[in-house]
Structures are given as C-alpha cells and as structure tokens.
Structure 1
Amino acid sequence: MEARRHHGLWRNGVALDERLPNLWQALSRGGYVTMGVGKLHFQPLLAAAEREMPESLAYWAKPGSERWRGPYFGFDAVELVMGEANESTRAGHYAAWLRRNHPEVVDLYEPEASPASRAEDLKEVWKSAVPPELHYTSWIADRAVEFIKHQSKRPEPFGLFVSFPDPHHPFAPPRPYCDLFRPERMPRPTIRAGELERMPAYLGEGDDPKKEPYIASGEQPREQGFLLRTDDISSQTLAIAIAHTHGMVQMIDDAIGRLLEALAGPGVLEDTYVLFTSDHGELLGDHGLLRKGPPPYRQLLQVPLVLCGPGIRPGTSLDALTSHIDLFATVASLLGLPAPATDGIDLKPLIEGRATAVRDYLFAEYHPRRDACLYNQSVITKDWRFTRYPNEPAWGELFDLSRDPWEHWNLFSECEFSSQAHRLNSILDQGLPPQPLIPNEVLGAY
C-alpha cells in the first residue's frame, strides 16, 4: 500500500503515519471512489483511548463509534473487522453489526460453543458454531458486493480493498468448511531430521537459554508471530489444523467468487483490474514449527500475487522476484495515475510480456518485539537465501534454493559455502545495511 521500506511500521503495536503517500490516496486524488472492507491493520489494537485511533478497542468503547465510516488512509469509507475467530466480536463495524442484529451469535464464536471437542495438545483448533452466512468472511463479501453493485451504476471509477482476516490462527472455520477436507488426506508437514539443530540457537535443539522464552513447546511465546514448536502436538491434531486452514481458504475462495460475479453481472469485470495477494504465510508444521515468527522461511515470505484485467493474458505464470512494495507503482502505472517515487518497481513490463525479470534479488527484514538478538536481514535471489543477525554475528542462515527449495538444510556453518555467504552479505551491506529503528512510538503490544 505504501511501498517504502522505511515506513516506520516495524512491529505490531505501532501506527502507520497518515502523512505518508499511499496507493489509496493516489486513487482518490485520481477521481476514484475508494472503500476498504475487512481487517486493515494500520493502527494498534491496544492504543489508548486518547489516541482516537479507529482500529483500537478503546475507540469502539465510545458511544456512537459505529457511525464512523472514514475517511481513512485514502479510503472514502471503511467497514472494519478487527480480529480473527472469537476476537472479531470485540470491536469494529462487523462486531457492532453482529451484536445489534444477531446477538445470539456472538458467543457461538467461542471455542466452548464448538459442536465438537477440542484437542488438548492444540486448543486453538476447533469447529466454529457460527452460521456461515453470519461469519465475518461472508459479511466482508456482503459489504463488498453491496459496494460493487452501487458503484457499478455510477459513472465514477472505483477502487475496493477487501481484506479477509483468515486464514489465520485460531484454526476455527464454521461448517461446512471445517468438514470439507479430511485430515487424514492432508499433505504432511515437511521436516528433515536435525534441521533445527543447524539453525540459530533460538530455534535449535540445544540448551541455549535464548530459545526458551520464545518457542518452548506448550508455552505461548512472547515474540511477535507466536512461533510454536510442534514437538508436543500430535500428527492427528496438526492434520486437523491443516484441514481447517484449507477450509478457511475455501471459504475465502467462495467469497471472492461472489465478488467476481458481482463485477461480471453489470459488465464491469472486463474493465476492472483484480489483484489478489496476502500479507504473510503460515508454517503449518513445516520445519516442526507452527504459526509465524522471526525466521524468514519461504512458507512465510512467498505469498500469491494473482492479477487479471484489461490486457493481461489469462493463464500466464511468472516466477520473477517481486515484492509488495512493487504494487503501488504497478497499479498506478496500469491506471495511468501519477505516483511518487517509492522503493518498488513497476511490474507492468512483466505483466505485458516485455520483460522476464525486474530485479536480481529481494530484501527482507524482521524487527523483534523484545530481544534485539532476533533482529535479522535477508537477501533472496533465484538460487540462494542468506540471512544475518547483526546483533548475533555467530547466527546466520544460508540455503541453496536450487537444491533445497524449502530450506531444510542450513549451510551457514559449512566452510565450503563461506564465499557464497560473503557475496550475499556484501549485497546486504550495500542495499540494506543494519537499520536503526525509525522513531515510532509503541502504543500497545498489538
């Protein structure tokens, strides 16, 4: 949305600066009617009431807060969902709508209302008792379809941002989606024996005390991402979590189908660009880990980017190195709108088939919530991923993606690959030297 590396939004609990230019402001200034529906995640959930931040719980404790609809970060109007599963009922437009129109459904989000018992080894897996038509995924689609139908009758162009909170832990889709996929038929997590022993000590099997506060099995880690080892989770329970994740994805697929039908009905679809992506992935047991966290595994960083619209040939698939920071420049270019200079690259040459690559490498960075030793920086090429921990020089990650595409065997400590690590480290030195935190006040844990 904002397309800069130095945006100050380095962790949960800080707010995005409204003064920074973003895609939706550019659309609005270009004459587009803009709307955001779902989980936007621009401000801390736990910001104090005096901050007057619409994405905070405190804001929604005020009488009349549900009447607020924006404007907000370039959106003319917004309809907010603020959380996943049972957290979605605490605040936001969806929570207000549900409590006003279907108060009996609020408690059905709780795991205690589940029609099936929960596994003791992973209590964040359950079958939601919420009727699917009243679930927030359906509500988001309802609001989006309503906006599309309204705007399709008007002459102004429109831009719509639809953000589904799922798939996300807790793994709690409603019926029928929680039963669509049989756990025993789910792909098993990919794990190589001994792989975590070769990783930085906070992930490994050793006795390093830095490991314990973060991902000790059975305990909630304190670092953002809530990374969890799966040692004490049975394969059966993990298979249910994977099946439920597939169910959440299917529910979103169905919702997106409704949006596309709404666009196709009045003949708007052929003149509309539709872009689908995600903010991050989920480990789902791969590497013996669940959820997400500091290590920049491919399962977390590589997300879908699907684009259709005028001039885009259906069925085209590209494996070029691209990034979310490219989207501002790309969308502005496709629409013929002016855009400020950003850190991203216009992907239009890729989309139109005039290029097969726009860069040789990508950067990634993780700023920890508490322990500075977990700060890491990565450079990713087609064949390699190198990660350094500037505050823990003995830690590092090096993966040969041509031979080990899912990053199961860390080569950082092997002498024969030291020249490769040195080369990639030099790229980081030049393109992403260790970054001091951009001053931005932490307003809450989330």
Structure 2
Amino acid sequence: MTNIVMIMTDQQRADSLGCMGNARARTPNIDALAARGALFHNHFTPHQICSPSRATLFTGELARHHGLTRNGVALPETQPMLSCDLRAAGYRTHGVGKFHFQPILAAAEHRMPDSNAFWDLPESRNWRGPFFGFDTVDILIGESVGATEGGHYARWLAERAPGAADLYAPENALTPGPDDMDEVWKSAIPEDLHYNTWITDRACDFLEQAGNDPFFLFVSYPDPHHPFSPPAPWCDLFDPADMPDPDVCPQELDAMPSYLLDGDREEASKSYVDYLRDPGPPREQGFLQTTRRISQGSLKQAIAHTYGMVSMIDAGVGRILDRIEALDLTADTLVVFTSDHGELLGDHGLIRKGPSPYRALLNVPLVVAGPGVTPGPRDGMTSHLDLRATLNAHLGLPEVQTDGRSFAAMLVDPQDQGPEAILAEYHPRTRAETYNQTLLTRDWRLTTYPLNVDWGEMFDLRNDPGEHRNLYFDAAYADMKQALIARLFQALPPAPEAGGQPIATY
C-alpha cells in the first residue's frame, strides 16, 4: 500500500512558488517536488476561509452540506472524511499542526481539542486523539501571537522555554514594525522554538517510528497567514525594495460591491492584532482592508515577510522529504502539497481576504508526486472539493459518494482537462448580504449576491485575467451574464441559511 504525506499551508497563493513562475520566490524543495510530480496551475478552493476550505478538502462536500460554513462553527465529529477512509483501509493516521475543524474560542464545556479552552481541562493532559479520523495528533491552534494559548505546541513551548511565548509579541520584535501596519514585525522567537520548526520536528519524529504499516501523515503549517511576522533569518531573507508591485488598477473598486471599502472602518476601530488578544464583538471573516492608509513601503515589507514565511515552510518541506528519502520510503509515498486559500497582498488595492472570491484567494498550490503520478504541469481546473475522491481512486480505495468528483485521470494523463467549471460559495459571519456564489470557467468568473441585487461580479478572464474590470452591470454582456447565472443556480441553488450554528466568534 502507498503511504501518503499531505502538507498544507494557510493563506498561501498559488503564485508564491518558483515552480509556478515566481522568479523572486525561494522554494527549491517544493519546486523539486513539483519537478517529479504533477503541478496543477489551476487548482481552486470553493471557500476562501480557513475552516470551510479545510473541511471541504477532507470531506469532499461543499460547506452547505458538511455544515462548517464559516469560522466559529464546528464540523460534526461523525462526518466521514478522507482520514476516516484511510483509517478504515488499514492506514495509521497522524496529524501535526493546524486543523481548525472546531472554533478556536469554543467554550470549555464543548470539550473541543481544537479550542484553547480545552487545554485548561484535566482531560487534556495526556490527550493525543483520536480526532476526526486521526489515530493520534500533535495540535497547534492559531498562528503568530495566537499560537501560544492552547494545543500541544503551546504546552511544549511553555515547558521547553518558560516565558518564550512573549517573544512572539510585536512589543518584543527584533525591530519595530511600521506605524501604518501594526501586524508587520520581525518576530523575536528563535527559529528552533518557532511553531514551523516544531511541526517539522514532530512530522519527522512520526516518520522515524511509523514502522512497516502504511501511514497517512497530515502536516499543516499555519503560515504564511497574517500577521506578517516571521522569525530570523527568514524575516530578512527578502529585501522589500525587490518585492513586486501589487496588481491594481486605479479606481477598479468603484465598480465592485460597496462592502469592499467598508472594512477600513472596522480596522480603524480595532486592529487585527488587538482583535486576536481581545476579540470583542464578531467581525466579518478575513479582516478585509483596503491599502489606502498603508504606505507602499509598509506593504512591500508585508510582502517580503510573506515570501520569507513561504521560504521557511519550504525548508521544513525539504527536511520532511529528506527524512522520507533517508528511510527509503520515497518510492512508496505519495506526497501532496497544497494550501487552504490565498491572500490578496495588495492586489486590487486590498489585503488579507474577504467575501469577494478573487483568484488571489481561490487559486491555491497543488503538487502531487509519487507512485502512479506522471510528472508534468496540469492546466485543467481542479478543486479541493474533488481531492478526497481523487486520492481514494488513485489509491484503489472504495468509492465514496460526495459532492466531489475524482480527477485521478489527471494524475496519470497530463493532457486531461478535468471539469469544465468550478463552484465556490461564501457564507458570511456578520453581514448576511455578502453571501455569494461563484461559477468559474476557463473564460469567465461570475459571482452573484442573492441577498443584494445591487452587487455582482463578472470578469472576462480571456481579456482580463487579473480581474480588474467588473462587467456584471455592463449591458453589452447581459446575455452572457444571464446564461452564467442560470448555469450557476442550476448547479448551486442559493442557500444563505445553510450550515451549523456558530458556537464562538472564530
């Protein structure tokens, strides 16, 4: 049986890798993995928010069906998942890092290991699983300053280096961050204590003691998610002056839904870092903000730090791949590298993420290398929705009935084009009218807002691949718009009320 190692990052754009054409990126290990595997140029997530995307990848179900439609909702523990399929097939299953299947701020009475409060309970002392189909886990919760409050990593750090958690804070940064962007700083936490290093160490430890039984190892890094605060030496790896300018056109947001400009008011009331420390009232997911109040220098510092975080992850990936090779497991191990969603990074004059499903948010990396995979690029469209069915088919596991469809044929045949269209859906936390649905084809991206007819997005990707000219209300494209809407609603009828009940802010 083929082993599986799935490596996931958080908030990483597809174009952040050297193998995807980024000449500035320093990702030699992921690039080498792509060189011996299938590199998917048009892989998308249906949900540009952490928990819904992760749950969809593992379940093969749209968020409206698995129930985790927004951060703050818990995935039902009885939900069938890829990890459950593999466990039932005789795999030893282990997960390391960020899962985010349950709300981080769920109260202790819910007894959810993915929440900080669980780790104050006596039962957490020796807990290692089982957890959503994983026999054992090493859990990390959150990212940056939020990663030291609960989970196995936070407990390890407190025991290994008492007081070191404070080194993540911006107040203790190696150098002060910019005045106009408080979530950009050089973290003072030493590299050997950083959570990315801890995740890599735990993954390598598992590989060492996995034995002869087939295994599924899930390795989940919480970076390059904002705040933009890598440790040394990664915070200094890239010169901000060498970073690319964001892809933005003057006044392009004037033709977009008006909420895109509203996030600045929330950001002015409480910054993201302050919100992490003291959440207060719920805010819309993604913390979308325009770059109007951010200097070009500060924005490029954030981009440089993002590149640094990606390079730090790449180094961890290299260590894992080296350990697989040293254990003589390469020929028997399928390696999957992906991310849950992307980041705007200044494109369109916006930063972070939010309701609008720009390509920078939906298009994520996907590399698959190992037994039965023909090396080479793949240009066809694929989705997280289809990964469970795809991996089961490629591994010869029993077929499962899900919303997804297998693209296993693409792993063998680089010329296979996969599905003709991809569906996406956004379920908001606080502003109901931002609920939206998307149909993405090779030529068009159409997004409707069923609760607000004054909003809509439509882009001609052949002539406007950067999604800068919104044609939704252009009379010359009315017939095309109606045809795409009909196609979207037939495949995905509006369901703004779908999903489980929120039990926490996030």
Give the % identical residues: 50
Aligned partner of 1:254 in structure 2 is 315
Q: Which deviations, in whole Å up to 9, do the C-alpha atoms of 1:165-191 show, x marking residues without a partner?
A: 000110000000000000000001111
State the alpha-carbon separation in 2 of the partners of residues 256 and 201 from structure 1: 40
Q: Which deviations, in whole Å up to 9, do the C-alpha atoms of 1:32-73 show, x marking residues without a partner?
A: 000010000000111111111111111111235141000000
The answer to whether the 8 Å contact 2:186/2:232 transfers is yes
Aligned partner of 1:119 in structure 2 is 178
Q: 1:388 aligns with which of 448, 452, 457?
A: 448
> More deviation in 317-326 or 296-305?
317-326
Q: Which deviations, in whole Å up to 9, do the C-alpha atoms of 1:142-179 show, x marking residues without a partner?
A: 0000001111xx22100000000000110000000000
**C-alpha deviation, 1:370, in angstroms:** 1.3
Aligned partner of 2:491 in structure 1 is 431
Task: Check 1:110–1:427 CA distance in 2 against 1; reply closer, same or farther (3 A cut).
Answer: same
**C-alpha deviation, 1:108, in angstroms:** 0.8
State the alpha-carbon separation in 2 of the partners of residues 3 and 64 from structure 1: 32
The answer to whether the 8 Å contact 2:264/2:289 transfers is no
> Where do 1:275-290 residues align within 5 Å?
275-290=336-351
Regions of 4+ moved over 4 Å:
210-221
SS in 2 for 1:280: coil
Instruction: Say whether 1:12 aligns with 2:71.
Output: yes
> Where do 1:97-112 residues align within 5 Å?
97-112=156-171
Letter in 1 for 2:190: P
> Where do 1:66-81 residues align within 5 Å?
66-81=125-140
State the alpha-carbon separation in 2 of the partners of residues 216 and 430 from structure 1: 41
Q: 1:190 aligns with which of 233, 236, 247?
A: 247
State the alpha-carbon separation in 2 of the partners of residues 402 and 123 from structure 1: 38
Aligned partner of 1:319 in structure 2 is 379
Unaligned stretches of 5+ in structure 2? 1-57, 273-281
**C-alpha deviation, 1:319, in angstroms:** 1.5
The answer to whether the 8 Å contact 1:399/1:410 transfers is yes
**C-alpha deviation, 1:203, in angstroms:** 2.1
The answer to whether the 8 Å contact 1:108/1:128 transfers is yes
Instruction: Say whether 1:56 aligns with 2:102.
Output: no
State the alpha-carbon separation in 2 of the partners of residues 217 and 384 from structure 1: 37
Instruction: Say whether 1:364 aligns with 2:421.
Output: no
Q: 1:178 aligns with which of 216, 235, 245?
A: 235
> Where do 1:14-413 residues align within 5 Å?
14-63=73-122, 65-151=124-210, 154-203=211-260, 222-314=283-375, 316-353=376-413, 356-413=416-473
**C-alpha deviation, 1:358, in angstroms:** 2.3
SS in 2 for 1:319: strand
State the alpha-carbon separation in 1 of the partners of residues 185 and 72 from structure 2: 28
Instruction: Say whether 1:415 aligns with 2:415.
Output: no
Letter in 2 for 1:328: R
Instruction: Return the TM-score normalized by structure 2.
Output: 0.84
**C-alpha deviation, 1:275, in angstroms:** 0.4
> More deviation in 276-285 or 348-357?
348-357
State the alpha-carbon separation in 2 of the partners of residues 439 and 402 from structure 1: 35
Larger relative strand fraction = 2
**C-alpha deviation, 1:339, in angstroms:** 3.4
Larger Rg, first or second structure (1 or 2): 1
Letter in 2 for 1:9: L
Letter in 2 for 1:442: P
State the alpha-carbon separation in 2 of the partners of residues 313 and 341 from structure 1: 26
Aligned alpha-carbon RMSD (Å): 1.6
Structure number with higher relative contact order (C-alpha < 8 Å, ≥ 6 residues apart) = 2
Task: Check 1:120–1:196 CA distance in 2 against 1; reply closer, same or farther (3 A cut).
Answer: same
State the alpha-carbon separation in 1 of the partners of residues 137 and 271 from structure 2: 37
Letter in 2 for 1:401: L
Letter in 2 for 1:200: P
**C-alpha deviation, 1:311, in angstroms:** 2.3
SS in 2 for 1:263: helix
State the alpha-carbon separation in 1 of the partners of residues 154 and 479 from structure 2: 55
The answer to whether the 8 Å contact 1:217/1:230 transfers is no
Letter in 2 for 1:336: G
SS in 2 for 1:321: strand
Letter in 1 for 2:246: P
**C-alpha deviation, 1:19, in angstroms:** 1.3
The answer to whether the 8 Å contact 1:349/1:355 transfers is no
Letter in 2 for 1:352: V
Letter in 2 for 1:90: E
**C-alpha deviation, 1:431, in angstroms:** 0.2
**C-alpha deviation, 1:279, in angstroms:** 0.3
State the alpha-carbon separation in 2 of the partners of residues 133 and 222 from structure 1: 34
Unaligned stretches of 5+ in structure 1? 205-209
Larger relative helix fraction = 2
State the alpha-carbon separation in 2 of the partners of residues 295 and 288 from structure 1: 13
